[in-house]
Each structure stands twice: as C-alpha cells, then as structure tokens.
Amino acid sequence: MNFLSHFYFERENHDENMVIGTVLPDLVKNAHKDWNLYPQKTEQLFIDDKQLNSLLTGWKRHLKVDLLFHSSDFFHTETAKLKQLLLPILNESPV
C-alpha cells in the first residue's frame, strides 16, 4: 500500500513517466520480494531517452522520500504501535 502514498503526492504531476517511476519500486517489491532493482546505479542507460529519464527521476524521488520518511521518529513510533496491535491478530496467521 506504500505505493499509494507515493502516488498521492504525485497526483498533480502531468508527467506520467515520473509518476510511474515514483510507484514502481513498491510495485516491483510487491510482485516479488526477492527482486532488487537499482536503475539509479546505471543512470547512463536512461539519460538519452526523455521518457526513461523521467521514469528514473521518479524512481530516485521515491528513494529520497522513503529515506526521509523511514528514518523519521514518527515512522518508528507509529510502526512500533501498529506492530503491537497486529501481533495478536496475526498470531495464528501464515503472514
């Protein structure tokens, strides 16, 4: 569901490739937990194509936002609270 928050902040963006780039990292992880893609490490493959460059810009924006959010006190505090609420519910669950 994290990808929805990334989309929310880009909903006014008229560059569809950048918007896709902001949600793509989470969609890839949701599709297959073992997939690890790092397009930002090969930026030269994206530079010459406007659409691909825009996709990469969105991907990098996603990473920057995640870095800020996931290192915040709010994230750590609220995640700990949520975990305590979910543990009893998921105790017998395969999740």
Residue 95 belongs to a domain: no
CA distance linking residue 90 with residue 75, whole number of Å: 21
Residue 81: inside a domain: yes
Residue 29 lies in a domain: yes
Cα 54–63–21 angle (5° rounding)? 30
In a domain, 64, yes or no: yes
The total of structural domains in the chain comes to: 1
Please give the residue range of the domain that contains residue 28. Answer: 2-90
Q: Is the pLDDT of residue 82 over 80?
A: yes
What is the DSSP track for 69-91?
A: HHTSHHHHHHHHHHHHHHHHHHT
- Examine the pLDDT at 73 and tell me if it is beyond 90: yes
CA distance 16 to 10: 9
Question: Does the residue 35 lie in any domain?
Answer: yes
8-26: per-residue pLDDT in tens? 889 999 999 999 999 999 9
Residue 55 lies in a domain: yes
**DSSP character string of 23-57:** HHHHHHHHH-TT----GGGGGGGTTT-HHHHHHHH
List, for residues 46-72, the tens digit of each pLDDT value. Answer: 999 999 999 999 999 999 999 998 899
Residue 69 counted as domain residue: yes
More confident of the two residues 95 and 85: 85
Instruction: State the average pLDDT for the chain.
Output: 92
**Is residue 54 situated within a structural domain?**
yes
